[in-house]
Structure 1
Protein backbone atom coordinates (compact mmCIF):
# COMPACT_ATOMS: atom_id res chain seq x y z
CA UNK A 1 0.00 0.00 0.00
CA UNK A 2 2.80 2.39 0.95
CA UNK A 3 4.69 1.48 -2.19
CA UNK A 4 1.63 2.15 -4.34
CA UNK A 5 1.06 5.59 -2.77
CA UNK A 6 4.74 6.47 -3.18
CA UNK A 7 4.60 5.48 -6.83
CA UNK A 8 1.48 7.58 -7.37
CA UNK A 9 3.07 10.65 -5.74
CA UNK A 10 6.21 10.19 -7.84
CA UNK A 11 4.16 9.92 -11.04
CA UNK A 12 2.20 13.04 -10.12
CA UNK A 13 5.41 14.97 -9.54
CA UNK A 14 6.81 13.79 -12.85
CA UNK A 15 3.60 14.83 -14.61
CA UNK A 16 3.77 18.31 -13.10
CA UNK A 17 7.43 18.52 -13.97
CA UNK A 18 6.58 17.67 -17.57
CA UNK A 19 4.82 21.01 -17.94
CA UNK A 20 7.84 22.95 -16.75
CA UNK A 21 10.46 24.32 -19.14
CA UNK A 22 13.69 22.39 -19.18
CA UNK A 23 17.18 22.63 -20.57
CA UNK A 24 18.02 25.69 -22.64
CA UNK A 25 14.48 27.04 -22.46
CA UNK A 26 14.61 27.00 -18.66
CA UNK A 27 18.06 28.62 -18.75
CA UNK A 28 16.94 31.47 -21.03
CA UNK A 29 13.85 32.12 -18.92
CA UNK A 30 15.88 32.10 -15.73
CA UNK A 31 18.54 34.44 -17.14
CA UNK A 32 15.91 36.98 -18.14
CA UNK A 33 13.24 36.33 -15.51
CA UNK A 34 13.36 39.92 -14.24
CA UNK A 35 12.77 41.28 -17.74
CA UNK A 36 10.04 38.70 -18.34
CA UNK A 37 8.17 39.57 -15.14
CA UNK A 38 8.55 43.30 -15.82
CA UNK A 39 7.21 42.87 -19.36
CA UNK A 40 4.29 40.80 -18.07
CA UNK A 41 3.48 43.45 -15.49
CA UNK A 42 3.60 46.26 -18.05
CA UNK A 43 1.46 44.24 -20.46
CA UNK A 44 -1.16 43.59 -17.80
CA UNK A 45 -1.26 47.26 -16.81
CA UNK A 46 -1.47 48.35 -20.47
CA UNK A 47 -4.33 45.95 -21.19
CA UNK A 48 -6.23 47.07 -18.10
CA UNK A 49 -5.79 50.72 -19.09
CA UNK A 50 -7.12 50.01 -22.58
CA UNK A 51 -10.20 48.23 -21.22
CA UNK A 52 -10.92 51.15 -18.87
CA UNK A 53 -10.32 53.66 -21.67
CA UNK A 54 -12.74 51.90 -23.99
CA UNK A 55 -15.38 51.82 -21.27
CA UNK A 56 -14.96 55.54 -20.66
CA UNK A 57 -15.15 56.31 -24.39
CA UNK A 58 -18.33 54.26 -24.71
CA UNK A 59 -19.93 56.05 -21.77
CA UNK A 60 -18.90 59.46 -23.10
CA UNK A 61 -20.25 58.76 -26.60
CA UNK A 62 -23.56 57.60 -25.16
CA UNK A 63 -23.82 60.47 -22.66
CA UNK A 64 -23.28 63.09 -25.38
CA UNK A 65 -25.22 61.25 -28.11
CA UNK A 66 -22.22 61.16 -30.44
CA UNK A 67 -23.31 59.01 -33.36
CA UNK A 68 -20.58 57.15 -35.24
CA UNK A 69 -22.02 58.38 -38.55
CA UNK A 70 -21.86 62.00 -37.46
CA UNK A 71 -19.36 64.28 -39.24
CA UNK A 72 -17.98 67.62 -38.20
CA UNK A 73 -20.00 69.36 -40.92
CA UNK A 74 -23.30 67.72 -40.03
CA UNK A 75 -26.03 68.98 -37.75
CA UNK A 76 -24.85 66.63 -35.02
CA UNK A 77 -21.52 68.40 -34.68
CA UNK A 78 -20.50 68.32 -31.00
CA UNK A 79 -19.54 71.49 -29.18
CA UNK A 80 -15.89 72.55 -29.01
CA UNK A 81 -15.91 71.89 -25.26
CA UNK A 82 -17.09 68.34 -25.87
CA UNK A 83 -14.47 67.82 -28.56
CA UNK A 84 -11.64 69.25 -26.46
CA UNK A 85 -12.51 67.12 -23.45
CA UNK A 86 -12.81 63.93 -25.50
CA UNK A 87 -9.52 64.48 -27.32
CA UNK A 88 -7.53 65.53 -24.26
CA UNK A 89 -8.78 62.86 -21.87
CA UNK A 90 -9.63 59.91 -24.10
CA UNK A 91 -8.35 60.16 -27.69
CA UNK A 92 -4.87 61.49 -26.88
CA UNK A 93 -4.09 58.82 -24.23
CA UNK A 94 -5.15 56.16 -26.73
CA UNK A 95 -2.85 57.70 -29.33
CA UNK A 96 0.10 57.74 -26.93
CA UNK A 97 -0.50 54.07 -26.21
CA UNK A 98 -0.49 53.44 -29.94
CA UNK A 99 2.89 55.14 -30.27
CA UNK A 100 4.26 52.66 -27.72
CA UNK A 101 2.99 49.78 -29.88
CA UNK A 102 4.50 51.41 -32.96
CA UNK A 103 7.96 51.40 -31.33
CA UNK A 104 7.71 47.85 -29.96
CA UNK A 105 9.48 46.21 -32.95
CA UNK A 106 12.60 48.30 -32.29
CA UNK A 107 12.47 47.50 -28.56
CA UNK A 108 12.16 43.79 -29.29
CA UNK A 109 15.02 43.91 -31.80
CA UNK A 110 17.28 45.73 -29.34
CA UNK A 111 16.55 43.25 -26.54
CA UNK A 112 17.20 40.18 -28.72
CA UNK A 113 20.37 41.68 -30.21
CA UNK A 114 21.90 42.85 -26.94
CA UNK A 115 20.93 41.12 -23.68
CA UNK A 116 19.84 37.87 -25.35
CA UNK A 117 22.62 37.16 -27.86
CA UNK A 118 25.46 39.70 -28.04
CA UNK A 119 26.01 39.74 -24.27
CA UNK A 120 26.68 35.99 -24.22
CA UNK A 121 28.99 36.21 -27.21
CA UNK A 122 30.80 39.17 -25.69
CA UNK A 123 31.29 37.54 -22.29
CA UNK A 124 31.95 34.05 -23.64
CA UNK A 125 29.24 32.38 -21.52
CA UNK A 126 27.83 30.73 -24.65
CA UNK A 127 30.77 28.30 -24.51
CA UNK A 128 29.37 26.75 -21.34
CA UNK A 129 26.14 25.87 -23.13
CA UNK A 130 28.00 24.44 -26.10
CA UNK A 131 30.08 22.18 -23.86
CA UNK A 132 26.87 20.75 -22.37
CA UNK A 133 25.92 18.91 -25.58
CA UNK A 134 24.06 21.95 -26.95
CA UNK A 135 24.93 22.68 -30.56
CA UNK A 136 25.24 26.29 -31.83
CA UNK A 137 22.14 25.79 -33.99
CA UNK A 138 20.06 24.53 -31.07
CA UNK A 139 21.40 27.33 -28.88
CA UNK A 140 20.25 29.94 -31.40
CA UNK A 141 16.95 28.15 -32.00
CA UNK A 142 16.05 28.41 -28.31
CA UNK A 143 17.29 32.00 -28.14
CA UNK A 144 14.86 32.89 -30.93
CA UNK A 145 12.01 30.60 -29.90
CA UNK A 146 11.60 32.07 -26.41
CA UNK A 147 11.22 35.75 -27.44
CA UNK A 148 9.37 34.67 -30.59
CA UNK A 149 6.73 32.85 -28.55
CA UNK A 150 6.50 35.76 -26.10
CA UNK A 151 6.06 38.24 -28.94
CA UNK A 152 3.44 36.10 -30.66
CA UNK A 153 1.40 35.74 -27.48
CA UNK A 154 1.93 39.12 -25.82
CA UNK A 155 1.90 41.47 -28.79
CA UNK A 156 -1.02 39.60 -30.40
CA UNK A 157 -3.07 40.13 -27.25
CA UNK A 158 -1.95 43.75 -26.95
CA UNK A 159 -2.69 44.55 -30.61
CA UNK A 160 -6.09 42.84 -30.40
CA UNK A 161 -7.16 44.79 -27.30
CA UNK A 162 -5.78 48.05 -28.69
CA UNK A 163 -7.66 47.50 -31.98
CA UNK A 164 -10.82 46.69 -30.02
CA UNK A 165 -10.45 49.95 -28.09
CA UNK A 166 -9.52 51.97 -31.20
CA UNK A 167 -12.65 50.81 -33.03
CA UNK A 168 -14.74 52.48 -30.32
CA UNK A 169 -13.18 55.84 -31.26
CA UNK A 170 -15.63 57.97 -33.30
CA UNK A 171 -13.78 59.05 -36.46
CA UNK A 172 -15.07 62.62 -36.31
CA UNK A 173 -13.72 63.08 -32.79
CA UNK A 174 -10.10 62.23 -33.59
CA UNK A 175 -9.06 62.84 -37.22
CA UNK A 176 -5.44 62.24 -36.26
CA UNK A 177 -6.31 58.62 -35.55
CA UNK A 178 -7.97 57.70 -38.82
CA UNK A 179 -7.15 54.15 -39.87
CA UNK A 180 -4.24 55.03 -42.17
CA UNK A 181 -2.61 57.11 -39.42
CA UNK A 182 -3.03 54.33 -36.86
CA UNK A 183 -2.07 51.59 -39.32
CA UNK A 184 1.05 50.34 -37.50
CA UNK A 185 -0.72 50.37 -34.14
CA UNK A 186 -3.63 48.08 -34.97
CA UNK A 187 -4.30 44.65 -36.39
CA UNK A 188 -1.71 41.94 -37.11
CA UNK A 189 0.94 44.28 -38.54
CA UNK A 190 2.56 45.15 -35.15
CA UNK A 191 2.84 41.44 -34.37
CA UNK A 192 4.54 40.66 -37.69
CA UNK A 193 6.89 43.62 -37.32
CA UNK A 194 7.89 42.46 -33.82
CA UNK A 195 8.66 38.98 -35.18
CA UNK A 196 10.79 40.68 -37.81
CA UNK A 197 12.50 42.57 -34.98
CA UNK A 198 13.37 39.24 -33.31
CA UNK A 199 15.10 38.03 -36.48
CA UNK A 200 16.89 41.34 -37.13
CA UNK A 201 18.07 41.41 -33.51
CA UNK A 202 19.55 37.94 -33.84
CA UNK A 203 21.55 38.89 -36.93
CA UNK A 204 22.79 42.13 -35.33
CA UNK A 205 23.88 40.29 -32.18
CA UNK A 206 25.72 37.59 -34.12
CA UNK A 207 27.49 40.09 -36.39
CA UNK A 208 28.54 42.69 -33.82
CA UNK A 209 28.96 40.63 -30.63
CA UNK A 210 28.91 43.79 -28.54
CA UNK A 211 25.86 44.43 -26.41
CA UNK A 212 25.38 48.18 -26.80
CA UNK A 213 26.43 48.29 -30.45
CA UNK A 214 24.16 45.38 -31.32
CA UNK A 215 21.18 46.97 -29.56
CA UNK A 216 21.58 50.25 -31.43
CA UNK A 217 22.16 48.58 -34.78
CA UNK A 218 19.18 46.25 -34.37
CA UNK A 219 16.80 49.07 -33.45
CA UNK A 220 18.04 51.20 -36.36
CA UNK A 221 17.88 48.33 -38.86
CA UNK A 222 14.35 47.42 -37.82
CA UNK A 223 13.27 51.04 -38.16
CA UNK A 224 14.79 51.24 -41.64
CA UNK A 225 13.19 48.00 -42.81
CA UNK A 226 9.73 48.99 -41.60
CA UNK A 227 10.09 52.62 -42.73
CA UNK A 228 11.90 52.20 -46.05
CA UNK A 229 10.72 48.77 -47.23
CA UNK A 230 7.28 48.04 -45.79
CA UNK A 231 5.84 51.55 -45.54
CA UNK A 232 6.49 52.56 -49.20
CA UNK A 233 4.81 49.32 -50.33
CA UNK A 234 1.73 49.89 -48.20
CA UNK A 235 -0.36 51.91 -50.65
CA UNK A 236 0.39 49.35 -53.38
CA UNK A 237 -0.70 46.28 -51.44
CA UNK A 238 -4.16 46.52 -52.94
CA UNK A 239 -5.44 48.48 -55.90
CA UNK A 240 -6.85 51.93 -54.99
CA UNK A 241 -10.35 53.03 -55.83
CA UNK A 242 -10.65 55.78 -58.47
CA UNK A 243 -13.11 58.68 -58.65
CA UNK A 244 -13.57 60.77 -61.80
CA UNK A 245 -15.06 64.25 -61.70
CA UNK A 246 -15.25 67.48 -63.68
CA UNK A 247 -14.68 69.33 -60.41
CA UNK A 248 -11.58 68.78 -58.28
CA UNK A 249 -12.39 65.78 -56.08
CA UNK A 250 -11.62 65.89 -52.42
CA UNK A 251 -12.43 63.21 -49.88
CA UNK A 252 -14.91 61.13 -51.80
CA UNK A 253 -16.76 58.71 -49.54
CA UNK A 254 -15.69 59.92 -46.12
CA UNK A 255 -13.17 61.94 -44.15
CA UNK A 256 -11.01 58.88 -43.46
CA UNK A 257 -10.19 57.99 -47.08
CA UNK A 258 -6.47 57.61 -47.70
CA UNK A 259 -5.65 59.69 -50.79
CA UNK A 260 -2.97 58.17 -53.00
CA UNK A 261 -2.88 60.55 -55.97
CA UNK A 262 -4.95 63.34 -57.52
CA UNK A 263 -4.65 64.87 -60.94
CA UNK A 264 -6.23 65.33 -64.37
CA UNK A 265 -7.12 63.11 -67.28
CA UNK A 266 -5.61 64.50 -70.49
CA UNK A 267 -7.33 64.59 -73.86
CA UNK A 268 -5.52 61.43 -74.93
CA UNK A 269 -6.51 59.60 -71.74
CA UNK A 270 -3.13 60.06 -70.03
CA UNK A 271 -2.79 61.24 -66.47
CA UNK A 272 -1.41 64.59 -65.27
CA UNK A 273 -0.63 64.10 -61.54
CA UNK A 274 -1.00 67.14 -59.29
CA UNK A 275 -1.04 69.80 -62.05
CA UNK A 276 0.01 73.37 -61.35
CA UNK A 277 -3.11 75.51 -61.68
CA UNK A 278 -1.87 78.77 -60.22
CA UNK A 279 -3.31 80.84 -57.39
CA UNK A 280 -7.04 81.56 -57.46
CA UNK A 281 -7.76 79.41 -60.53
CA UNK A 282 -10.95 77.36 -60.31
CA UNK A 283 -10.82 73.60 -60.93
CA UNK A 284 -12.85 74.04 -64.14
CA UNK A 285 -10.49 76.71 -65.50
CA UNK A 286 -7.51 74.56 -64.55
CA UNK A 287 -8.95 71.69 -66.59
CA UNK A 288 -9.28 74.07 -69.57
CA UNK A 289 -5.69 75.35 -69.12
CA UNK A 290 -4.29 71.82 -69.35
CA UNK A 291 -6.63 70.73 -72.14
CA UNK A 292 -7.87 67.95 -69.87
CA UNK A 293 -11.23 66.20 -69.70
CA UNK A 294 -11.58 66.14 -65.92
CA UNK A 295 -10.07 65.21 -62.58
CA UNK A 296 -9.25 61.84 -61.08
CA UNK A 297 -8.60 60.76 -57.50
CA UNK A 298 -6.99 57.49 -56.43
CA UNK A 299 -7.71 56.62 -52.80
CA UNK A 300 -8.05 53.77 -50.36
CA UNK A 301 -11.39 53.65 -48.52
CA UNK A 302 -11.60 52.27 -45.00
CA UNK A 303 -12.73 48.92 -46.42
CA UNK A 304 -9.16 48.38 -47.71
CA UNK A 305 -7.68 48.38 -44.21
CA UNK A 306 -7.81 44.66 -43.42
CA UNK A 307 -6.80 43.34 -46.86
CA UNK A 308 -3.77 45.65 -46.72
CA UNK A 309 -3.01 44.60 -43.15
CA UNK A 310 -2.96 40.88 -43.93
CA UNK A 311 -0.89 41.26 -47.09
CA UNK A 312 1.70 43.36 -45.24
CA UNK A 313 1.68 40.87 -42.37
CA UNK A 314 2.52 38.09 -44.82
CA UNK A 315 5.38 40.12 -46.28
CA UNK A 316 6.79 40.96 -42.82
CA UNK A 317 6.62 37.32 -41.71
CA UNK A 318 8.36 36.22 -44.92
CA UNK A 319 11.11 38.79 -44.30
CA UNK A 320 11.42 37.55 -40.71
CA UNK A 321 11.86 33.99 -42.00
CA UNK A 322 14.57 35.08 -44.46
CA UNK A 323 16.46 37.12 -41.86
CA UNK A 324 16.12 34.26 -39.38
CA UNK A 325 17.60 31.85 -41.93
CA UNK A 326 20.51 34.27 -42.31
CA UNK A 327 21.02 34.18 -38.53
CA UNK A 328 21.30 30.37 -38.57
CA UNK A 329 23.73 30.56 -41.46
CA UNK A 330 25.86 33.01 -39.48
CA UNK A 331 25.88 30.89 -36.34
CA UNK A 332 27.06 27.89 -38.36
CA UNK A 333 29.86 29.77 -40.07
CA UNK A 334 31.06 32.40 -37.65
CA UNK A 335 30.67 31.06 -34.12
CA UNK A 336 33.72 29.08 -33.04
Structure 2
Protein backbone atom coordinates (compact mmCIF):
# COMPACT_ATOMS: atom_id res chain seq x y z
CA UNK A 1 0.00 0.00 0.00
CA UNK A 2 1.29 3.45 -0.89
CA UNK A 3 2.35 5.55 2.10
CA UNK A 4 0.12 8.51 2.92
CA UNK A 5 1.96 11.82 2.63
CA UNK A 6 1.21 15.22 4.13
CA UNK A 7 2.09 18.91 4.05
CA UNK A 8 1.81 21.10 7.16
CA UNK A 9 1.00 24.83 6.89
CA UNK A 10 1.61 27.03 9.97
CA UNK A 11 3.51 24.02 11.26
CA UNK A 12 5.00 25.54 14.39
CA UNK A 13 7.32 23.10 16.12
CA UNK A 14 5.56 20.13 14.55
CA UNK A 15 3.20 18.76 17.21
CA UNK A 16 0.35 18.40 14.68
CA UNK A 17 2.78 16.68 12.32
CA UNK A 18 3.96 14.38 15.11
CA UNK A 19 0.39 13.12 15.40
CA UNK A 20 0.31 12.51 11.66
CA UNK A 21 3.56 10.52 11.86
CA UNK A 22 2.08 8.45 14.69
CA UNK A 23 -0.90 7.76 12.41
CA UNK A 24 1.47 6.33 9.79
CA UNK A 25 1.90 9.35 7.51
CA UNK A 26 5.10 10.83 6.05
CA UNK A 27 5.85 14.58 5.93
CA UNK A 28 6.85 16.17 2.63
CA UNK A 29 6.89 19.85 3.60
CA UNK A 30 6.25 22.08 6.61
CA UNK A 31 6.19 25.88 6.56
CA UNK A 32 6.20 28.40 9.41
CA UNK A 33 7.49 31.94 9.96
CA UNK A 34 9.36 31.05 13.17
CA UNK A 35 12.96 29.97 12.60
CA UNK A 36 13.15 28.43 16.09
CA UNK A 37 9.99 26.38 15.50
CA UNK A 38 11.28 25.19 12.12
CA UNK A 39 14.56 24.14 13.70
CA UNK A 40 12.59 22.15 16.28
CA UNK A 41 10.50 20.54 13.55
CA UNK A 42 13.53 19.48 11.52
CA UNK A 43 15.22 18.06 14.61
CA UNK A 44 12.27 15.99 15.84
CA UNK A 45 9.83 15.29 13.00
CA UNK A 46 11.90 15.27 9.81
CA UNK A 47 14.19 17.54 7.76
CA UNK A 48 11.45 18.89 5.49
CA UNK A 49 10.54 22.19 7.19
CA UNK A 50 11.37 25.64 5.85
CA UNK A 51 11.01 29.17 7.18
CA UNK A 52 8.52 31.17 5.14
CA UNK A 53 5.07 32.71 4.84
CA UNK A 54 2.20 30.66 3.46
CA UNK A 55 1.07 33.70 1.49
CA UNK A 56 4.11 33.78 -0.80
CA UNK A 57 5.36 30.18 -0.77
CA UNK A 58 5.02 28.48 -4.16
CA UNK A 59 6.96 25.22 -4.25
CA UNK A 60 4.20 23.03 -2.77
CA UNK A 61 4.40 19.30 -3.59
CA UNK A 62 1.46 16.97 -4.21
CA UNK A 63 0.36 15.31 -0.98
CA UNK A 64 -2.52 13.20 0.27
CA UNK A 65 -3.23 15.27 3.38
CA UNK A 66 -2.90 18.98 4.13
CA UNK A 67 -2.65 20.11 7.75
CA UNK A 68 -3.22 23.71 8.78
CA UNK A 69 -3.32 25.49 12.10
CA UNK A 70 -3.80 29.16 11.13
CA UNK A 71 -3.36 31.81 13.85
CA UNK A 72 -6.19 31.70 16.37
CA UNK A 73 -5.71 34.99 18.24
CA UNK A 74 -8.54 36.73 16.39
CA UNK A 75 -10.99 33.96 17.28
CA UNK A 76 -9.87 32.83 20.75
CA UNK A 77 -11.92 33.65 23.84
CA UNK A 78 -8.58 34.21 25.61
CA UNK A 79 -7.88 37.10 23.25
CA UNK A 80 -9.87 40.04 21.95
CA UNK A 81 -11.85 37.97 19.43
CA UNK A 82 -11.19 40.74 16.94
CA UNK A 83 -12.92 40.03 13.59
CA UNK A 84 -10.65 42.63 11.98
CA UNK A 85 -7.40 40.96 13.08
CA UNK A 86 -5.37 40.71 9.86
CA UNK A 87 -4.20 37.21 10.81
CA UNK A 88 -7.76 35.90 10.51
CA UNK A 89 -7.55 36.06 6.71
CA UNK A 90 -4.66 33.59 6.67
CA UNK A 91 -7.25 30.81 6.97
CA UNK A 92 -8.33 31.66 3.42
CA UNK A 93 -4.95 30.53 2.09
CA UNK A 94 -5.69 26.92 3.07
CA UNK A 95 -8.05 26.09 0.14
CA UNK A 96 -5.49 27.52 -2.29
CA UNK A 97 -2.81 25.22 -0.90
CA UNK A 98 -5.25 22.30 -0.99
CA UNK A 99 -5.84 22.89 -4.69
CA UNK A 100 -2.12 23.11 -5.47
CA UNK A 101 -1.12 19.98 -3.55
CA UNK A 102 -4.25 18.05 -4.68
CA UNK A 103 -4.97 16.96 -1.11
CA UNK A 104 -7.49 14.20 -0.55
CA UNK A 105 -8.23 15.46 2.96
CA UNK A 106 -7.56 18.82 4.60
CA UNK A 107 -7.61 19.20 8.38
CA UNK A 108 -7.76 22.73 9.79
CA UNK A 109 -7.24 23.01 13.55
CA UNK A 110 -8.25 26.06 15.56
CA UNK A 111 -10.13 27.29 18.64
CA UNK A 112 -13.83 26.33 19.05
CA UNK A 113 -15.23 29.75 17.97
CA UNK A 114 -13.48 29.53 14.59
CA UNK A 115 -16.25 27.57 12.75
CA UNK A 116 -18.71 30.29 13.73
CA UNK A 117 -16.68 33.06 12.08
CA UNK A 118 -17.15 34.75 8.71
CA UNK A 119 -13.66 33.67 7.68
CA UNK A 120 -14.52 30.02 8.34
CA UNK A 121 -17.68 30.32 6.21
CA UNK A 122 -15.70 31.83 3.36
CA UNK A 123 -13.09 29.08 3.67
CA UNK A 124 -15.75 26.36 3.71
CA UNK A 125 -17.45 27.74 0.60
CA UNK A 126 -14.13 27.64 -1.24
CA UNK A 127 -13.53 24.04 -0.15
CA UNK A 128 -16.96 23.08 -1.47
CA UNK A 129 -16.23 24.80 -4.78
CA UNK A 130 -13.14 22.61 -5.06
CA UNK A 131 -15.20 19.45 -4.55
CA UNK A 132 -14.64 18.81 -0.85
CA UNK A 133 -17.28 17.77 1.64
CA UNK A 134 -16.82 19.80 4.83
CA UNK A 135 -17.39 18.59 8.38
CA UNK A 136 -16.49 20.13 11.75
CA UNK A 137 -15.58 18.50 15.04
CA UNK A 138 -15.08 20.04 18.46
CA UNK A 139 -12.89 17.72 20.52
CA UNK A 140 -11.59 17.77 24.08
CA UNK A 141 -7.91 16.78 24.18
CA UNK A 142 -8.31 15.13 27.59
CA UNK A 143 -10.69 12.60 26.00
CA UNK A 144 -7.91 11.40 23.69
CA UNK A 145 -5.02 10.68 26.02
CA UNK A 146 -3.76 14.21 26.73
CA UNK A 147 -3.21 15.11 30.42
CA UNK A 148 -4.68 18.57 29.78
CA UNK A 149 -8.11 20.14 29.25
CA UNK A 150 -7.95 21.75 25.81
CA UNK A 151 -10.96 22.03 23.48
CA UNK A 152 -10.13 22.46 19.79
CA UNK A 153 -12.10 22.62 16.58
CA UNK A 154 -11.19 20.56 13.53
CA UNK A 155 -12.53 21.35 10.08
CA UNK A 156 -12.22 18.25 7.92
CA UNK A 157 -12.57 18.79 4.17
CA UNK A 158 -12.60 15.46 2.32
CA UNK A 159 -12.67 14.17 -1.26
CA UNK A 160 -12.67 10.51 -0.18
CA UNK A 161 -16.03 10.36 1.58
CA UNK A 162 -16.92 10.91 5.19
CA UNK A 163 -14.14 10.86 7.79
CA UNK A 164 -15.52 9.34 10.98
CA UNK A 165 -15.10 11.36 14.14
CA UNK A 166 -12.60 9.61 16.46
CA UNK A 167 -14.05 7.92 19.53
CA UNK A 168 -12.84 9.18 22.93
CA UNK A 169 -10.66 6.94 25.07
CA UNK A 170 -11.97 5.06 28.09
CA UNK A 171 -10.09 6.95 30.81
CA UNK A 172 -8.50 10.36 31.19
CA UNK A 173 -4.84 10.81 32.12
CA UNK A 174 -4.15 13.09 35.07
CA UNK A 175 -1.54 15.82 35.19
CA UNK A 176 0.16 13.88 37.96
CA UNK A 177 0.62 10.90 35.65
CA UNK A 178 2.66 13.11 33.35
CA UNK A 179 4.49 15.24 35.91
CA UNK A 180 5.49 12.45 38.28
CA UNK A 181 7.49 10.52 35.70
CA UNK A 182 11.23 10.76 36.27
CA UNK A 183 13.09 13.39 34.27
CA UNK A 184 16.66 12.72 33.21
CA UNK A 185 18.99 14.87 35.35
CA UNK A 186 20.78 16.29 32.31
CA UNK A 187 17.63 17.10 30.32
CA UNK A 188 18.13 20.69 29.05
CA UNK A 189 14.36 21.09 28.80
CA UNK A 190 13.84 20.56 32.53
CA UNK A 191 14.29 24.23 33.38
CA UNK A 192 12.12 26.98 34.79
CA UNK A 193 12.58 30.62 35.91
CA UNK A 194 13.74 30.72 39.52
CA UNK A 195 11.20 32.72 41.54
CA UNK A 196 12.60 35.56 43.63
CA UNK A 197 11.29 38.36 45.85
CA UNK A 198 7.53 38.77 46.13
CA UNK A 199 6.92 36.04 43.55
CA UNK A 200 8.79 33.50 45.68
CA UNK A 201 6.95 34.65 48.82
CA UNK A 202 3.58 34.27 47.10
CA UNK A 203 4.31 30.82 45.68
CA UNK A 204 5.42 29.51 49.09
CA UNK A 205 1.98 30.38 50.50
CA UNK A 206 -0.03 28.43 47.93
CA UNK A 207 -1.19 25.05 49.34
CA UNK A 208 -1.87 21.95 47.21
CA UNK A 209 -4.56 22.80 44.61
CA UNK A 210 -4.61 26.35 45.97
CA UNK A 211 -4.40 29.68 44.14
CA UNK A 212 -4.24 33.45 44.62
CA UNK A 213 -7.17 33.39 47.05
CA UNK A 214 -4.96 31.57 49.55
CA UNK A 215 -2.30 34.25 49.17
CA UNK A 216 -4.91 36.96 49.74
CA UNK A 217 -6.01 35.29 52.99
CA UNK A 218 -2.54 34.58 54.33
CA UNK A 219 -0.66 37.71 53.27
CA UNK A 220 -2.77 40.65 52.02
CA UNK A 221 0.35 42.80 51.97
CA UNK A 222 1.71 40.67 49.10
CA UNK A 223 -1.38 41.28 46.97
CA UNK A 224 -1.98 44.28 44.68
CA UNK A 225 -5.32 46.14 45.02
CA UNK A 226 -6.37 44.83 41.62
CA UNK A 227 -6.76 41.31 43.03
CA UNK A 228 -9.52 42.48 45.38
CA UNK A 229 -11.22 44.41 42.57
CA UNK A 230 -11.28 41.38 40.29
CA UNK A 231 -12.96 39.36 43.03
CA UNK A 232 -14.03 35.85 42.00
CA UNK A 233 -12.66 36.25 38.48
CA UNK A 234 -9.28 34.86 37.38
CA UNK A 235 -9.03 32.57 40.40
CA UNK A 236 -6.67 30.16 38.63
CA UNK A 237 -3.76 32.60 38.59
CA UNK A 238 -0.96 31.76 41.02
CA UNK A 239 -2.61 28.37 41.22
CA UNK A 240 -1.15 24.91 41.71
CA UNK A 241 -2.00 22.14 39.27
CA UNK A 242 -4.27 19.44 40.67
CA UNK A 243 -2.32 16.22 40.09
CA UNK A 244 -5.50 14.13 40.18
CA UNK A 245 -7.07 15.82 37.16
CA UNK A 246 -5.95 16.88 33.66
CA UNK A 247 -4.24 20.25 33.78
CA UNK A 248 -5.91 23.45 32.62
CA UNK A 249 -5.26 24.62 29.06
CA UNK A 250 -1.56 25.26 28.59
CA UNK A 251 -0.84 28.72 27.18
CA UNK A 252 2.42 30.11 25.81
CA UNK A 253 2.95 31.87 29.15
CA UNK A 254 2.83 28.70 31.27
CA UNK A 255 6.10 29.64 33.01
CA UNK A 256 4.48 32.79 34.42
CA UNK A 257 2.36 32.02 37.53
CA UNK A 258 0.30 35.19 37.06
CA UNK A 259 -1.11 33.80 33.80
CA UNK A 260 -2.88 30.69 35.07
CA UNK A 261 -2.77 27.51 37.15
CA UNK A 262 0.80 26.68 36.24
CA UNK A 263 2.51 26.09 39.59
CA UNK A 264 3.97 22.64 40.21
CA UNK A 265 1.63 20.52 42.39
CA UNK A 266 4.12 20.33 45.29
CA UNK A 267 7.30 22.26 44.48
CA UNK A 268 7.58 26.04 44.82
CA UNK A 269 8.06 26.81 41.14
CA UNK A 270 6.27 26.92 37.81
CA UNK A 271 6.33 24.06 35.32
CA UNK A 272 9.56 23.27 33.56
CA UNK A 273 9.65 23.33 29.76
CA UNK A 274 9.81 19.51 29.79
CA UNK A 275 6.76 19.29 32.04
CA UNK A 276 4.84 21.67 29.79
CA UNK A 277 5.76 19.54 26.79
CA UNK A 278 4.54 16.43 28.61
CA UNK A 279 1.16 18.07 29.19
CA UNK A 280 0.97 18.45 25.40
CA UNK A 281 1.77 14.77 24.93
CA UNK A 282 5.24 15.45 23.52
CA UNK A 283 7.68 12.54 23.98
CA UNK A 284 10.66 13.17 26.27
CA UNK A 285 13.05 12.44 23.39
CA UNK A 286 12.10 15.77 21.80
CA UNK A 287 14.42 18.73 22.22
CA UNK A 288 13.15 22.21 21.31
CA UNK A 289 15.33 24.88 19.75
CA UNK A 290 15.60 28.44 21.05
CA UNK A 291 15.63 30.39 24.29
CA UNK A 292 13.10 29.54 27.04
CA UNK A 293 10.26 31.87 26.04
CA UNK A 294 10.31 30.94 22.31
CA UNK A 295 10.35 27.29 23.40
CA UNK A 296 7.37 27.88 25.71
CA UNK A 297 5.56 29.49 22.77
CA UNK A 298 6.29 26.50 20.56
CA UNK A 299 4.87 24.19 23.21
CA UNK A 300 1.82 26.30 24.10
CA UNK A 301 0.88 26.95 20.46
CA UNK A 302 0.93 23.29 19.46
CA UNK A 303 -1.81 20.74 18.94
CA UNK A 304 -1.61 18.08 21.68
CA UNK A 305 0.12 15.13 20.04
CA UNK A 306 -2.33 12.43 21.25
CA UNK A 307 -5.28 14.49 19.97
CA UNK A 308 -3.57 15.05 16.63
CA UNK A 309 -2.83 11.33 16.36
CA UNK A 310 -6.48 10.43 17.05
CA UNK A 311 -7.75 12.84 14.38
CA UNK A 312 -5.23 11.76 11.77
CA UNK A 313 -5.71 8.06 12.46
CA UNK A 314 -9.35 8.65 11.50
CA UNK A 315 -8.21 10.47 8.35
CA UNK A 316 -5.81 7.63 7.50
CA UNK A 317 -8.63 5.09 7.90
CA UNK A 318 -10.85 7.03 5.48
CA UNK A 319 -8.09 7.28 2.87
CA UNK A 320 -7.25 3.58 3.21
CA UNK A 321 -10.93 2.61 2.95
CA UNK A 322 -11.31 4.66 -0.22
CA UNK A 323 -8.13 3.21 -1.72
CA UNK A 324 -7.36 6.67 -3.09
CA UNK A 325 -4.22 8.69 -3.69
CA UNK A 326 -3.88 12.34 -4.58
CA UNK A 327 -2.33 11.29 -7.92
CA UNK A 328 -5.33 9.12 -8.79
CA UNK A 329 -7.90 11.82 -7.98
CA UNK A 330 -5.89 14.49 -9.78
CA UNK A 331 -5.93 12.29 -12.88
The TM tier, using the shorter chain, reads under 0.3
Q: TM-score, normalised by structure 1?
A: 0.25
Say which structure is richer in helix. Answer: 1
Q: TM-score, normalised by structure 2?
A: 0.26
Say which structure is richer in strand. Answer: 2
| The structure with more radius of gyration | 1
